[in-house]
Chains A and B, each alone.
Chain A
Amino acid sequence: MTADTLAGWSAANRRRAEAMLAAYPDRRSAVMPLLYLAAMEHGHITEDAMREVAALTGMTPAQVQSVASFYTMYKRDGVGRYLISVCTSISCFLLGSDALLAAVEEETGTAGGESSDDGLFSVEHVECIGACGGAPALQVNYELVEGVAPDKGAALCRWLRDAGPEIVLSDEMQQLFGGRRSFDWAIREHEGAVAPVPAFAPYGSSGEEGA
């Protein structure tokens, strides 16, 4: 079934799908990783993506949609190359998250959760991302930057536009645009995000610096 269902998928992603289905005691449990994988394959969670994931997991397309629509990180509309998620929950709010969000929206020409006309940026405000000791914080393609002043947030957006990094690296952005962190990150991490999907090897969404 997998081969027919995923005829349009890359060979690497077909292998990843097989591995996900084999990894759980029940194939339905693979729906969440498969949705991330489908987002990598299609750019976001399309109708086709949900039908494919349904066929793989033995769910109906409606069941897959009910799952996809429950979780905020499954984007059913197109997202820009760089998804910027600004935390506006209580600790970040107390330390100026709203000014950071405004600066990021202004720099990218977005407002209210939209994408920029050039397709480069999507900006969203999100609930707590567990970076409260390094507030205010944001993520680019779910890679974290802490202690981001509004002007640094705008500068980060300009850098993304100008440098256009293929791999979004948390440590690199932190060094260039971040400030106070929740705790010592200690060592530089060389793995980062290649798409607006959490960078995790099983999803094919991560890349390694210099690799």
Chain B
Amino acid sequence: MASGFPPILTGRMTEAPGDSHTIARYEATGGYTTLRTALSGMTPEQVTEQVKASNLQGRGGAAFPTGVKWGFLAPATPRFLVVNADESEPGTFKDRQLLERDPHQLIEGTVLSAYALAVHHAFVYVRGEYPKPARRLQRAIDEAYAAGFLGSDILGSGFDLDLMVHLGAGAYICGEETALLNSLEGKRGEPRIKPPFPAVEGLYSRPTIVNNVETISNVPWIVANGGRAYASIGDPASAGTRLFSLSGHVKNPGNYEIPMDLTWRELIYDIGGGIPEGRELKCWIPGGASAPWFVPAEHLDTRVTKDDVAENGSMLGSGAVVVMDDTTNVVAAAHRIVRFFAHESCGQCTPCREGTTWLERMLWRILQGHGRPQDLDMLMDVSDNISPGLTWPPAMTTICPLGPSAVSPITSIMKYFRDEVEEMLAAGVTT
């Protein structure tokens, strides 16, 4: 642990790297004891109470309080639990590590959650590009069935749960929970208009809870140690530890589990080791490709908490920190991110489908040395049509936040690096 804090999620894989994914190691290190205790001595409501008390917030990107989300689940049965393992936000690779290295932690969390929610059929939606994590998880599920932690009458409690792995097939948008549910129903992965929310009308129009891999992986610790213990870790408004994915121009890229009370300087320089080859930090993306960028002159001493980052006009999102050094062509970097969203737009909403495409083409034109002075205003105008007012959090003209996400790199470079964009226009630079 870089910060010296006892890890919640990554301890087993750090201490027993050779077999942390096996049921033997999981049980030898206390795994599934929480499930035994809960199924024999706790009511579903008591499990839910611990999750509510923990102040755990969703780790997929939206940071919505998990216990509150659970509280919205409509009473009708059957109902479903879906674990979102469609990790696709550029810069994010934490769920991959949790799936590959400690799948039983996720399974125990899923069974505990399903027990709390009175769910008897759960799915893990794994992105198609993650066959190895899917294989590891499937083997772990097979082990859990054989050991009686899944299936009928789990540990003699009378509680039944079936758990299935479902692979996606290459669509970022399926990480959006209603798109994911459409995909799981065998449809195109197009987001639904909310409300109704999945907790009321989700999979097959039944009450459904969708939670991220990291979110559910925290549940065994929370139930074992109590919600209040979890809530006491880190910043009061950003409870617990989080897995941050560091990548880009940083000496020590990787996933780091830290409590949310550090500064960006500590995260990038102390944990990430700083910028390679003696170069300078130019900017970074604090929470995945959808997030507005930060710059050292303003944000290095900002704290890495949900609220501090929000007050500075961005978000922790999926926990992906992408670092860019002073050699970075920020227009090219912004183009690469906008191109991503243009490619991944599902096409339902005109402002997103057309807007992201236009933004991508304008940035490409500038990169090719054919930019025009009026392109700067047009970039902002098209952005404003996708996300009116260009505020944070973004206003939307679309069903889901994908379109407004494509605006973040545009507003970032126009805010912090407008001179560089203008220079490129003036020089007709070709890259």
Contact = CB atoms under 8 A, between A and B. Distances in A.
A143 interface: yes
B167 A198 contact: yes
A28 B187 CA distance: 8
Contact of B96 (A91, A130, A143): A130
A180 B135 contact: no
A13 B185 CA distance: 22
B245 A29 contact: no
B201 interface: no
Contact of A71 (B92, B135, B169): B169
Interface string B300-320: 000000000000000000001
Given A74-B169, A128-B89, A182-B96, A133 B253 contact: yes
A32 B167 contact: yes
A200 B187 CA distance: 21
Interface string A38-79: 000000000000000000010100000011001111100000
Nearest to A198: B131
Given A142-B131, A183-B254, A29 B186 contact: yes
A74 B168 CA distance: 10
Nearest to B174: A71
Contacts of B90: 89-91, 127-128, 132
Given A94-B328, A182-B254, A201 B129 contact: no
B166 A89 contact: no
A35 B129 contact: no
A90 B91 CA distance: 7
A158 B255 CA distance: 32
A59 B337 contact: no
Contact of A183 (B101, B127, B185, B340): B101
Nearest to A180: B253
A92 to B, nearest CB: 9
B186 A32 contact: yes
Contacts of A135: 247-248, 253
A90 B336 contact: yes
A191 interface: yes
Given A94-B324, A127-B172, A182-B255, A25 B204 contact: yes
B112 interface: no
A129 interface: yes
A126 B20 CA distance: 31
A90 B170 contact: no
A67 B187 contact: yes
Interface residues of B, number: 67
B333 interface: yes
B372 interface: no
Given A94-B328, A180-B253, A129 B129 contact: yes
Contact of B186 (A57, A127, A187): A57
A157 B92 CA distance: 27
B333 A94 contact: yes
Contacts of A90: 90-91, 248, 285, 289, 322, 333, 336-337, 340
A94 B249 CA distance: 7
B167 A200 contact: yes
B186 A70 contact: no
Contact of B135 (A73, A131, A200): A200
Nearest to A30: B186
A139 B346 CA distance: 24
A199 interface: yes
Nearest to A69: B188
A36 B167 contact: yes
B419 interface: no
B170 A143 contact: no
Centre residue among B21, B91, B344 by max chain A CB count within 10 A: B91
Contacts of A133: 93, 245-247, 253-255
B134 to A, nearest CB: 6
Centre residue among A25, A57, A70, A189 by max chain B CB count within 10 A: A70
B75 interface: no
Contacts of B130: 130
A133 B92 CA distance: 9
Nearest to A184: B17
Contact of B93 (A24, A131, A186): A131
Interface of B: 13, 17-21, 78, 87-93, 95-97, 100-101, 121, 127-132, 134-135, 138, 164, 166-172, 183-189, 204, 245-249, 253-255, 285, 289, 320, 322, 324, 328, 332-333, 336-337, 340, 343-344, 346
Interface of A: 23-26, 28-33, 35-36, 57, 59, 66-67, 70-74, 85, 88-91, 93-95, 126-135, 139, 142-144, 170, 180, 182-187, 189, 191, 193, 198-201, 206
4 A-B pairs closest in CB distance: A71-B169, A72-B170, A132-B247, A28-B186
